[in-house]
Amino acid sequence: MIDVASNKVVATITTGKGAHGVVASGNRVFVTNTFDDTVSVIDVDAQKVIGTISVGDAPNGITFGNANN
């Protein structure tokens, strides 16, 4: 994790193998793990992985859409 005010690394969080796509939503960050076929869910405040979601073959990118559409 990087503190954008100081531009310094404040934490290193280990996710799955082949971490690639990253998206943030609120106080959660989601990271695709291409070689593990998972997405890691990170709690920004706790600075740790709080969950892992199995998603199928080689997730690469990730994005959020508007749930109301």
CATH number at residue 50: 2.40.10.480
Number of domains comprising the chain: 1
Asked if 41 contacts 30 with a C-beta cutoff of 8 angstroms, the reply is yes
In a domain, 42, yes or no: yes
Q: Is the pLDDT of residue 69 over 70?
A: no
In a domain, 34, yes or no: yes
Instruction: Read off the pLDDT of residues 1-47 as tens digits, 9 standing for 90 and up.
Output: 898 899 999 999 999 999 999 999 999 999 999 999 999 999 999 99
Q: Is 44 exposed, middle or buried (0-12, 13-18, 19+ CB in 10 A)?
A: middle
In a domain, 35, yes or no: yes
Supply the pTM of this predicted model.
Answer: 0.86
In a domain, 60, yes or no: no
Q: Is the pLDDT of residue 68 over 80?
A: no
- Quick one: pLDDT at residue 65? 79
* C-alpha span between 65 and 16 (Å, rounded): 24
Structure tokens at 49: 């992985």
